[in-house]
Structure 1
Amino acid sequence: MAEAEEDRRLEYCSAPPRTMPNLPPDMPLARQRAIIVNRSKWANGTQLHYTFLHGAPAQADVVREAFQEWKEIGIGLSFVEVDSPAEAEVRIGFVQGDGSWSYLGRDVLLQGQNERTMNFGWNLRSDHGRSTAFHEIGHTIGLPHEHQNPNAGIVWNEEAVYQYLGGPPNNWPRETVYHNVLRKLSPAEVEGSDWDPDSIMEYEFPSGLVRSPEAYRKGIFPPGTISKIDKEQVLMWYPALEAQVPRLKAFQSAALNLASGQQFNAEIVPDASRPYQIGTFGATDVVLVLFEDIGDGELRYLAGDDDSGEERNALIRIKLFAGRRYVARVRMQYAKDSGASALMYW
């Protein structure tokens, strides 16, 4: 640390509890894990629209730059700033005293249209503030807290953690400390086997809070930037999109042979304006999303369906218009046996 630890008490992200699916207890564990670990992920190619509520203070530029840096990794997601909360999936506030936080991944879609999905409760125009912007956007694209990774093997001095975070400037109640620090994620909530102490999703902790591993008893000090492993992880979830996608013809199915986490993309250009159905077939759990191409490469979200954990297939019913271009995306959550399935519109 550059300053004496007793003089430097950081403010920490207080992420809201994650929404978990209500899965039957007798569901095979492999299927449960696939559904849970993929639940927070967006369909690759999604354009996430963000807006600043109640105006954008000068420090909003830090958030804009952080979105751009995530995009420049080469991921398939993109981020577009809009003026209206009604057009935004991501709604950003700067409510001081309410901490900094973001809902995890697609949980942002469960929040009311005028409610914040992300907040910054302190000045972002500092090294710590810039790291906070990267961190909260990491939550929005689906990354949980890294120090809660069950593979980290961290043994905490729990009462010291409660005391440290229960005091200023965080003043957290014990349940917030437990949820954001001490609670280990279920193995079903994480991918990979390694802990990344350099992750942007890792908190900085001073000496005296970690009992083991021995190397971190004097503290955990991530650099506050997007790490190499962070980049590898998000590129695995959201690889660069192919330049062209196949065109789906009405009443002709496209065969899908996808592993968990993989995705199929197809364009739809209807010959007639009328109500259509777009659906998947097969013993799978998928997220099906439909976008409309509104020009200049911008895809506007129209509808989606997630059949994960249910004994049915994803289905969208919607009116499409002749000559317009639409893009359907199918993200595989879990595939039974071979993973063979199909996508069709009719």
Structure 2
Amino acid sequence: MSDVIRACVDRVIPTARRMEAQALAEAENPDNLIPPGEPAPLSGAVDTRKLWKVGRVLNVAFVDGIPAVQQKVADIALTWTEFANIGLDFGDNPNAEIRISFAQPGSWSYIGVDALLIEPPNPTMNFGWLTPATNDEEYQRVVLHEFGHALGMIHEHQNPANEIPWNREAVLDYYMGPPNNWAKHQVESNIFQAYARQHTKYTDFDLLSIMRYPIPREHLADPAWGAGHDVEWQNYQLSEVDKQFIAECYPFDE
């Protein structure tokens, strides 16, 4: 695989604020309630503790950026609303639930209602490499992916149903080098660590999901895994499973 992987990094709420985050999540959507005594989680799938209220209209605002780039982001993000009973209202509300920056390094988003814990004007989502010169496929890939996170979706390779035979040393070497330059613990939490089954709504592993990272063959202990699929390459659109799955999370009949 010759293309460099520019990867999204999960934004995780600090341990000291997780109880506060859970209280906000339950106030937003009672279905986010964790039963008493149930263990906290390790961190097409969603974190079932972080979903917005079905039918909610989320305010979205840009804290910086070029108008032409902002418009492309907005146009692509609205794709999710065709399949999920949730709205995205782009405007200039300084207290918007989703606040987007282009000024910080990398591409990232807080997951679902975790965004409520981030005080304005701090961003809850960032697109560090999108410019007017970025090609349309990259816009599609990155914007759909990050807004998937904003709706509560997790990385597909962290789906509890995945059985990816990772070549751990190759993966560590790759992501700890440029352009990502991650620390070892970031590779562990963003690549290898699967979400707990009891806190995750998930389907069978979906190779076509917009939430999947590309997986170079050299990152696999068994290079034949995923035969018949372009696992090395990016996905640029919502898969049919993505569409069906987000519709189940935010159904139109409620």
Q: How many angstroms apart in 2 are the aligned matches of 1:99 and 1:184? A: 22
Measured after TM superposition, the shift of residue 90 of structure 1 is 0.3
**What residue ranges of structure 2 are gaps of 5+ in the alignment?**
23-32
Measured after TM superposition, the shift of residue 81 of structure 1 is 1.0
Deviations 1:198-220 (A, max 9, x none): 11100112221022483338844
Q: Does the Cα contact within 8 Å between 2:207 and 2:231 map onto a contact in 1?
A: no
User: Is 1:80 aligned to residue 92 of structure 2?
Assistant: no
Q: Does the Cα contact within 8 Å between 1:12 and 1:203 map onto a contact in 2?
A: yes
Structure 2 equivalent of residue 158 of structure 1: 168
- Count of matched residue pairs: 230
Structure 1 equivalent of residue 26 of structure 2: none
Query: 2:143 pairs with 133, 144, 153, which one?
Result: 133
Q: Does the Cα contact within 8 Å between 1:48 and 1:90 map onto a contact in 2?
A: yes
Q: Does the Cα contact within 8 Å between 1:209 and 1:219 map onto a contact in 2?
A: no
The structure with higher relative contact order (CA 8 Å, sep 6+) is 2
Q: How many angstroms apart in 1 are the aligned matches of 2:218 and 2:245? A: 30
Amino acid in the other structure paired with 1:174: K
Which TM-score applies when normalising by structure 1?
0.61
Cα RMSD, aligned residues only: 2.7
Which TM-score applies when normalising by structure 2?
0.81
Kindly report which structure 2 residues correspond to 1:270-289, keeping only aligned pairs within 5 A, or say none. Answer: none
Structure 1 equivalent of residue 103 of structure 2: 95
Measured after TM superposition, the shift of residue 26 of structure 1 is 7.2
Amino acid in the other structure paired with 2:99: R
Structure 1 equivalent of residue 10 of structure 2: 15
Q: How many angstroms apart in 1 are the aligned matches of 2:155 and 2:116? A: 20
> Which has the larger helix fraction?
2
Amino acid in the other structure paired with 2:162: A
Q: Which deviates more from structure 2 when the two are superposed, residues 173-182 or residues 138-147?
A: 173-182
**What residue ranges of structure 1 are gaps of 5+ in the alignment?**
243-346
Structure 1 equivalent of residue 197 of structure 2: 187
Change in 2 beyond 3 A, CA 1:238/1:166: same
Q: Does the Cα contact within 8 Å between 2:55 and 2:87 map onto a contact in 1?
A: yes
Percent of aligned pairs sharing the same letter:
33
Change in 2 beyond 3 A, CA 1:24/1:10: closer
Change in 2 beyond 3 A, CA 1:28/1:94: closer
Structure 1 equivalent of residue 209 of structure 2: 199
Change in 2 beyond 3 A, CA 1:58/1:207: same
Change in 2 beyond 3 A, CA 1:150/1:220: farther
